C-alpha cells in the first residue's frame, strides 16, 4: 500500500487538517431573555392595572365620603336655619337654644365635633345624621308648640277685638251723643252787617262811607239766634276779618289772637266778643268795632264768625 503524499503539486508540504469546531446555538438564550422581558412587562402591566384600579377605588371611596360629608353639612346647615327662624318667630326660644345645658346645645356640640373632624368615618357621619334628625325633631316640636301658642293668642286677640269693638261702639255712640249735644249748643249768627265808619269831630260824629280813604273803623253787627240747647252764660264769639289782599286783619294790641277749630286746626282771629246768652232767647244787635293803625285798602272785606270752633256766619263789604 502506497503512502499518501504530504506535499502539494508545487512541492509545498501540506498542513495537516484541523478538526472544525461546532457553532454555538444562541437561539435559546434569546428566547429566554425575551421570555424574561415579556414576563416583566406582564408583571408591570398587571401591577399598573391593579394600582389604577386601587386608585380608582380610593377616589370613588373618597368621593363617596366627601359626598356624605357634604350631605351631612347641608342637613346641619338647614337645621341651624330652622333654629334661627324659630328664634325670629319667638324671642323666648333664644334662651332655650342658648342654654348650654339644654338638649339642643348638647346635640349641636356633638354634631359640630363630627362635622369639623376632617377624618370622620362613615360611622361618624351616620351618627351625625341621627343627631341631626333628633335636632330637627326638637325644632319641629317647638314649632308646633309655638303654632299652638300663636293660635291661642290669635283666639284671645279676636276675643279682645270683639270686646274692644263693643266698647268702642259704646264709646262712639256716647261721643256721637256728646257731639250732637255739643253741636246743638253751638250758636248761630244771623243778620250780619259790616259798616265802614268815618269818624268826625274827634269821634263825636260818625258817618257811614264806602270810600277806603275815609274809613276810620269797621263796625260789625250781628244777631245770635235763640238756642234751646245752649246753657245760659257768657259765650265767646270769634270774629275773623280778611282784607282785600287775603291777609287776616290782626293786631294783638287791639285784641287779635289765635284759637282752634273744632277739628284741631289753628285759627287766627281779629276780635273776640263775649255775648251774654239766655237759653232759648235771641241776642240782637251785638256790636263790635275794629280799629287799625294803617289805612283801609280798597276792595272786599270778608268777615267770619266762629263759636266752639265752628263757623256760625259770615258777610262781605266792599270799599272803593
Question: From the first residue on, what is the mean pLDDT of each consecutive set of 10 residues in the chain (320 residues)?
Answer: 50 56 65 78 72 58 63 83 76 64 80 84 86 85 79 84 76 58 79 91 83 91 90 93 94 93 92 93 94 91 93 90
Same domain, 213 and 315: yes
* 249 and 292 Cβ atoms separated by less than 8 Å: yes
Same domain, 73 and 197: no
Same domain, 191 and 310: yes
B/e letters for 120-149, b = 16+ CB within 10 Å, e = fewer, are: beeebbebbbebbebbbebbeebbeeeeee
Whether residue 17 is contained in a domain is answered as no
Same domain, 192 and 315: yes
Whether residue 45 is contained in a domain is answered as yes
Whether residue 5 is contained in a domain is answered as no
Whether residue 53 is contained in a domain is answered as yes
- Per-residue confidence (pLDDT) for residue 82, from 0 to 100: 82
Whether residue 9 is contained in a domain is answered as no
First and final C-alpha spacing in the chain: 195
Q: Which of 142, 174, 199 is the last residue of a domain?
A: 142
- Per-residue confidence (pLDDT) for residue 225, from 0 to 100: 92
Domain limits at 49?
Answer: 29-142
- Per-residue confidence (pLDDT) for residue 307, from 0 to 100: 92
Q: Whole-angstrom Cα distance, residue 235 to residue 293?
A: 28
Q: Which of 87, 122, 142 is the last residue of a domain?
A: 142
Q: Which residue has the cell 342654654?
A: 99
Whether residue 210 is contained in a domain is answered as yes
* 63 and 56 Cβ atoms separated by less than 8 Å: no
* 103 and 160 Cβ atoms separated by less than 8 Å: no
- Per-residue confidence (pLDDT) for residue 31, from 0 to 100: 80
Whether residue 131 is contained in a domain is answered as yes
Q: Whole-angstrom Cα distance, residue 13 to residue 6?
A: 6
Whether residue 180 is contained in a domain is answered as no
How many domains does the chain fold into? 2
- Where helices occur in the chain by DSSP H, the ranges are 27-89, 93-98, 103-115, 122-185
Q: Rounded to the nearest 10 degrees, what angle do helices 103-115 and 122-185 cross at?
A: 130
- Per-residue confidence (pLDDT) for residue 1, from 0 to 100: 44
CATH number at residue 296: 2.60.40.10
Same domain, 197 and 296: yes
Q: Whole-angstrom Cα distance, residue 83 to residue 99?
A: 13
Closest CA to 128 of 82, 64, 69, 80: 69
Q: Which residue has the cell 277806603?
A: 212
As to burial, measured by CB atoms within 10 angstroms (0-12 exposed, 13-18 middle, 19+ buried), residue 273 is middle
- Where helices occur in 230-276 by DSSP H, the ranges are none
Same domain, 126 and 192: no
Cross-sheet strand order for the sheet of 189-200: 205-208, 189-200, 217-224, 283-291
- Per-residue confidence (pLDDT) for residue 249, from 0 to 100: 94
- Per-residue confidence (pLDDT) for residue 275, from 0 to 100: 93
* 139 and 96 Cβ atoms separated by less than 8 Å: no
Same domain, 235 and 290: yes
Amino acid at each position: 500500500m502506497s503512502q499518501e503524499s504530504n506535499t502539494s503539486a508545487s512541492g509545498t508540504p501540506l498542513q495537516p487538517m484541523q478538526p472544525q469546531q461546532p457553532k454555538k446555538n444562541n437561539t435559546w438564550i434569546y428566547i429566554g431573555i425575551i421570555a424574561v422581558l415579556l414576563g416583566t412587562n406582564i408583571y408591570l402591566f398587571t401591577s399598573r392595572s391593579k394600582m389604577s384600579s386601587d386608585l380608582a377605588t380610593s377616589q370613588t371611596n373618597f368621593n363617596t365620603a366627601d359626598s356624605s360629608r357634604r350631605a351631612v353639612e347641608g342637613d346641619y346647615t338647614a337645621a341651624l336655619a330652622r333654629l334661627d327662624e324659630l328664634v325670629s318667630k319667638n324671642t323666648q326660644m333664644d334662651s332655650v337654644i342658648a342654654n348650654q345645658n339644654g338638649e339642643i346645645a348638647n346635640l349641636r356640640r356633638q354634631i359640630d365635633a363630627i362635622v369639623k373632624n376632617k377624618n370622620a368615618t362613615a360611622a361618624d357621619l351616620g351618627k351625625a345624621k341621627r343627631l341631626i334628625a333628633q335636632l330637627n325633631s326638637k325644632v319641629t316640636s317647638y314649632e308646633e308648640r309655638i303654632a299652638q301658642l300663636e293660635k291661642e293668642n290669635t283666639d284671645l286677640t279676636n276675643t279682645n277685638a270683639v270686646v274692644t269693638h263693643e266698647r268702642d261702639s259704646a264709646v262712639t255712640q256716647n261721643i256721637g251723643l256728646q257731639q250732637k249735644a255739643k253741636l246743638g249748643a253751638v250758636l248761630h249768627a244771623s243778620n250780619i252787617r259790616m259798616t265802614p265808619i268815618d269818624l268826625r269831630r274827634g269821634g263825636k260824629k260818625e258817618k257811614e262811607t264806602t270810600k277806603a280813604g275815609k274809613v276810620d273803623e269797621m263796625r260789625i253787627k250781628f244777631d245770635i239766634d235763640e238756642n234751646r240747647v245752649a246753657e245760659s252764660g257768657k259765650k265767646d264769639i270769634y270774629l275773623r276779618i280778611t282784607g282785600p289782599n287775603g291777609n287776616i286783619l290782626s293786631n294783638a294790641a287791639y285784641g287779635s289772637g289765635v284759637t282752634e277749630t273744632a277739628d284741631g286746626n289753628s285759627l287766627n282771629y281779629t276780635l273776640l266778643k263775649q255775648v251774654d246768652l239766655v237759653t232759648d232767647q235771641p241776642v240782637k244787635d251785638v256790636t263790635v268795632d275794629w280799629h287799625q293803625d294803617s289805612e283801609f285798602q280798597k276792595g272786599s272785606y270778608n268777615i267770619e264768625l266762629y263759636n266752639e270752633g265752628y263757623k256760625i256766619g259770615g258777610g262781605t263789604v266792599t270799599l272803593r
